[in-house]
Amino acid sequence: MGLVMAALALFFVLPVIWLLLAPSKTADQVVHNWPLSFGSFSQIGHAWSHLMSFQNHAMLKWLRNSAIYSGGSLILTLITSVPAGYALALTRFRGRTTLLVVTLITMIMPSATLVLPIFLEINQFHLIGTIWSVILPFSFYPFGVYLVYIYFATSLPRDIIAAARVDGCSEWQVFAHIALPLARPVIALVAFFSFVGNWNNFFLPYLVLPNSDQFPVQVGLNQLLSSTPSFNPVAGAGLNITIPELALAIIVAILPVLVLFLFSQRALVSGMLAGSTKG
């Protein structure tokens, strides 16, 4: 078992280590030196200035865009999915089963299936090229609703809810004072998956944001790739975007997601029901 864990760890970590080391080397050193060797710090600086000079600090613009799109939709996702998951799990209302089934269906449906129709829909409402064309579709997150639903359905005893109702709590009070405080782990989980998913989303922004100034960083990376001489000798000629610059761009692009993970790790690790079953 130890061997399996070690092999897994190696498989997951080795590409990351390679990625972190690549920007410290020149394009030549990346090929000829030992893959896991360190070049020099000054070389990282060179790679950074090459990257920044690409289309006049386009990288920073893309990062800011990604932050706006992912942050905005994260807020909307939490506001809509947490109450919805709660209501589906612990209340009974007409249409509940339908909503649950439709949620599951929409969730398992390949999201790329909807990208083209969503594009046409957004086009119809003249939202192409606006931040809403990305934020609103990103905010629709049935996976989050389902996570919250599963969490409440399996972890929060219905008796507690029933008792609170008997004691005179309004439905809002039950939700805000009993369910919500217990839901912290699952809220962290939803926030985390939503942010990571939206930050890394490529297909939709690629279609609905025609202007390079509006690209999120993932679409920007694609543009960077097609400007790299090693992958596109024609378009990339004369640009300083080589493997080290590309590696540095990847690192910068994923940094916010890593930071988020560090912050939500506690909630993730604490387990989902530790509070209610053992408290």
Partner 1 sequence: MTLVAFQPTSKGAPSRRGVKPRREGGIASYFFVAGYTVLLVAFGIFPTCYAIYLAFTNDRGQFAGVNQFSKVARDYRFLPAFENIAVYLVMWLVLLVVMTVLAAVALRSWVRPGMSSLLRFLFYLPGALAGVASVLVWLFMLDPDVSPAGKLLRALGDNSFAATLNPSHLPVIFVLIAFWTGAGGWIVVMYGALNNIPDEVLEAARMDGAGRWQTARQIQIPMIRKWITYMSILAFAAGTQLFIEPQLLQTASLGRVSSTWSPNQLAYVYAFQQGDFNGAAAISIFLLVLGLACAGVLVTRSALFKLEDQ
Cα 161 to Cα 179: distance, rounded to the nearest angstrom: 8
Q: Which is nearer to partner 1, 44 or 186 (CB)?
A: 186
Is residue 58 involved in binding partner 1 (CB under 8 A)? no
What residues have CB less than 8 Å from 188, skipping those under 6 apart? 264, 267, 268
Of 176, 188, 199, the closest CA to residue 72 belongs to 199
Among 183, 189, 190, 241, indicate the residue that binds partner 1 (CB under 8 A). Answer: 189
> Which residue stretch of 43-51, 55-63, 64-72, 197-205 sits at the interface with partner 1 (rule: CB under 8 A)?
197-205
Cα 20 to Cα 40: distance, rounded to the nearest angstrom: 12
Residue 272's CB is within 10 A of a number of other CB atoms, namely: 21
Q: What is the CA radius of gyration of the chain?
A: 23
Smallest separation, CB 126 to partner 1 (Å) = 15
Cα 31 to Cα 28: distance, rounded to the nearest angstrom: 5
Smallest separation, CB 217 to partner 1 (Å) = 9
Give the DSSP letter of residue 242: -
Smallest separation, CB 28 to partner 1 (Å) = 11
> Which residue stretch of 7-15, 39-47, 49-57, 59-67 sits at the interface with partner 1 (rule: CB under 8 A)?
7-15
Smallest separation, CB 152 to partner 1 (Å) = 10
214-233 residues in contact with partner 1 (CB under 8 A) are 218-219, 221-222, 225-226, 231-232
Smallest separation, CB 26 to partner 1 (Å) = 12
Of 72, 63, 54, the closest CA to residue 216 belongs to 63
71-130 residues in contact with partner 1 (CB under 8 A) are 76, 79-81, 83-84, 86-93, 96-97, 99-100, 102-114, 116-118, 120-121
Q: Which is nearer to partner 1, 10 or 60 (CB)?
A: 10
Among 171, 176, 181, 213, indicate the residue that binds partner 1 (CB under 8 A). Answer: 171
Q: Which is nearer to partner 1, 167 or 238 (CB)?
A: 167
Angle between helices 41-53 and 243-269 (to 10 degrees): 100
Handedness of CA 31, 36, 42, 44 (dihedral sign): positive
Smallest separation, CB 279 to partner 1 (Å) = 12
Is residue 191 involved in binding partner 1 (CB under 8 A)? no
Residue 152's CB is within 10 A of a number of other CB atoms, namely: 22
Cα 138 to Cα 127: distance, rounded to the nearest angstrom: 14
Q: What DSSP string runs through 137-176?
A: HHH--HHHHHHHHHHHHHHS-HHHHHHHHHTT--HHHIII
Is residue 167 involved in binding partner 1 (CB under 8 A)? yes
146-165 residues in contact with partner 1 (CB under 8 A) are 146, 150, 153-155, 161-163, 165
Single-letter code of the amino acid located at 53: S
Q: Which is nearer to partner 1, 52 or 250 (CB)?
A: 250
- Per-residue x/- mask for partner 1, residues 230 to 269, rule CB under 8 A? -xx----------x--xx--x--xx--xx--x---x--xx
Smallest separation, CB 41 to partner 1 (Å) = 21
